[in-house]
Amino acid sequence: MVFYWKDYEELAVSIMSIVDRLVHKTNEKIESATDILKEILNPVVAEAEEVSWPPRDPEALILMEKEIAKREQEGRLDEGFLAEVNAQLRQSKEDGDKPGLEAMLQKVLQIYASKVLRKRSYAYKGDKILVAEQFLETIIAASEENWNKLLIEGLNIGKGEISPEEFYSVIKKRIERTLIRTEGGSYQQRILTEYLRGIQSRAEDVVKAFQGPQQ
């Protein structure tokens, strides 16, 4: 088959058209992720005011959580969205002058992780309730601000019956299950496992505080 210059010209135009469409679609996805994040943060960001955390109006946090739940249900909180939040969070940490924004973005990821992890329960085995698993799911569903209180009430170093070792064991199992059920190296995998490790780290701090200085 003989190609003439006109054929090459048409081929080049077709290729550039495809490239333009791909670039446009990529930009659309980035803009879409940014717009979704803006909508989520909108209730807790006051116009012309410095970002503060926690929000002055408690209702604002409830509205933010509702927006995250709505977007997650729509399937809009995908890898593109998680990448956008992580990019904004990284930039905020590097700037070092926006602690309110940094805390706000961390909260977005925490709420996201909580909602995704709550979709699957491991608290029941037949008719039997696995108490430690159920307790972990209570912590997963709770706001980070309530973790200390719940840990003291549930662990046997406080008012509960679950040993720290038993609790750490179910966290480890949940992390392993999460690693199996999520794409390796994805933002989702990292965010979910970091959330679970955050719960363990908080539990370890609470246990240490109750046990006092070791001899």
User: Mean pLDDT lowest for which of 67-71, 92-96, 130-134?
Assistant: 92-96
CA quadruple 185, 106, 136, 197: dihedral sign: positive
- State the pLDDT at residue 95: 82
Q: Residue 46's pLDDT is what? A: 59
CA–CA separation, 175 and 172 (whole Å): 5
CA distance 160 to 69: 31
For 52-62, what is the mean pLDDT? 77
Q: Is the pTM here over 0.85, yes or no? A: no
List of residues 6+ apart from 45 with CB closer than 8 A: 51, 104
Alpha helices in the chain (DSSP H): 5-41, 58-73, 79-95, 99-117, 131-141, 147-154, 164-181, 187-211
Mean pLDDT for the stretch of residues 86-100: 85
Distance of CA 11 to the CA centre of its chain: 44
3-class DSSP assignment, residue 103: helix
Overall average pLDDT of the 11-22 stretch: 54
Burial 62-88 (b: 16+ CB within 10 A, else e): eebbebbeebbeeebbbebbbebbeeb
CB 74 within 8 A of CB 80: no
Top pLDDT among 8 and 205 is at 205
Q: How confident is the model at residue 153 (pLDDT cuts 50, 70, 90)?
A: very high
The residue whose two tokens read 């446009």 is: 24
166: exposed, middle or buried (Cβ count in 10 Å: 0-12, 13-18, 19+) = middle
**Residue range 99-135, pLDDT digits in tens:** 788 889 999 999 999 999 999 999 998 899 999 999 9
Distance CA(127)–CA(144), nearest Å, equals 30
d(CA 185, CA 78): 14
Compute the distance between CA of residue 157 and CA of residue 143 in angstroms, rounded to an integer.
21
